[in-house]
Amino acid sequence: MTVDTGSADAWVLGSDSQCLQLAPNGTTVQASRDSCPSGSTTFNYPGKATDHGFEVDDSVWFGQSLGAGDTIGTFSYDTMSFPGCGSRRDSLSIPHQEFAVANTTIGAVLDGFAVGILGFGYPSITYQHPNTLSIDEVLAGNASLFDDRTAYPTVFESLVAEGMEPYINLARERTPFDQAQGFEWTLRIQSLTYTTPYGTTVTNTTSFQAVVDSGQNLNLLPFEAARDINAAFDPPATLVETTGFYTVPCNATPPTLGVTIANHTFAIHALDMIWCDEAGTCYSSVVPATNDAQQGISLELPR
């Protein structure tokens, strides 16, 4: 499973899962498994209660929207075990933990190796829905996975309750109440240092907050900074108006980019400035935020 600090649900891919793609008209269509890459060790979903403690929760369903696509499935309960979790050297088990089994993925949600996501993000961003929200309406484009979400005890909360230290390895602060739409754990970015299209190095000292999202490869930055950074690729990156992404030649030379947090500047590695899709098209990892509320909402720290 991929440990994701940008989401809060824990889910595994069911062995009978289907792959869909988003059509231009907003509906979904059947797609080959190659369009939804994942690892091969999927979860054999029993579909009913078992003697070893597995239970199905029919009162709700799972529907999560991620940057790379959507995931739909069922919620269940079972014992989850973690070997050597946190500062503990012994294994840690959580009895009757709620998690999701995905039976539908829309787009390349996983990386081709993982078979699920272990979300360690803020608990209020879970995607559990009551049955009053229709899955068919969502798939038809008439409803959204952002609608009718209910909170439940996440794996991260359960681990803390069992004795795990309540942090991963990042110092975080909460978004101020008057700036938040919901809540999320964030870092305050003091400044960005980057190369301009003219070859000079500029430091933008306008601070903003960012969620450190280990589950994706994009950096959502303020519009002006993203524009200048993408223009500084050699050759310059090209904006795709329909997606908001910038395409670049796969052998392009990226500009320098440094992120200052708590008076320490972290350089983004050049290899992390370009990513490629399965078709071989390459993109800049720097994407402009679409509005003020999203500025800095996701930041991929250097590896």
- Residue 281 maps to which CATH number? 2.40.70.10
Q: What is the pLDDT of residue 62?
A: 94
At a CB cut-off of 8 Å and minimum separation 6, what does 222 contact? 204, 206, 208, 288, 289, 295, 296
| Same domain as 111, residue 8 | yes
| Same domain as 43, residue 91 | yes
DSSP line for the chain: -EEETT---EEEEEEEEEEEEE-TTS-EEE--GGGS---S--B---SS--TTS-EEEEEEEEEEEETTEEEEEEEEEEEEEETT-TT-SS-EEEEEEEEEEEEEEES--S-SS-SEEEE-S-GGG--EEETTS-HHHHHTTSS-TTSS-B----HHHHHHHTT--S--S---EEPPGGG-SS--EEEEE-EEEEE-TTS-EEEE---EEE-B-TT---EEE-HHHHHHHHHTSBSPPEE-TTT--EE--TTPBPPPEEEEETTEEEEPPGGGSEEE-TTS-EEESEEE-SSGGGTTS-B----
| Same domain as 222, residue 125 | no
Catalytic residue annotation: 4, 213
pLDDT at 297 over 90: no
Q: pLDDT tens, 188-246?
A: 888 889 887 777 888 888 888 777 777 667 888 888 888 989 999 999 999 988 777 89
Is residue 303 in some structural domain?
A: no
Is residue 69 in some structural domain?
A: yes
Is residue 45 in some structural domain?
A: yes
Q: pLDDT tens, 138-162?
A: 888 888 888 899 889 999 888 888 8
| Same domain as 211, residue 89 | no
| Same domain as 149, residue 53 | yes
| Same domain as 64, residue 9 | yes
Alpha-carbon torsion 143, 146, 152, 155, what sign? positive
Mean pLDDT across 21-37: 78
| Same domain as 123, residue 194 | no
Between vectors from CA 90 to CA 11 and to CA 152, what angle results, nearest 5°?
30
| Same domain as 38, residue 139 | yes
Is residue 229 in some structural domain?
A: yes
| Same domain as 233, residue 153 | no
What is the extent of the structural domain holding 157? 2-161
Q: What is the pLDDT of residue 187?
A: 74
Least trusted range by pLDDT, from 12-26, 38-52, 164-178, 253-267: 164-178
| Same domain as 153, residue 20 | yes
At a CB cut-off of 8 Å and minimum separation 6, what does 34 contact? 278
Count of domains observed in the chain: 2
| Same domain as 209, residue 91 | no
Is residue 239 in some structural domain?
A: yes
| Same domain as 181, residue 104 | no
Backbone angles phi, psi at 144, to 5 degrees: -120, 150
Domain final residue, candidates 137, 161, 185 = 161
User: How does the average pLDDT of the chain come out, rounded?
Assistant: 79
Q: What is the pLDDT of residue 50?
A: 67
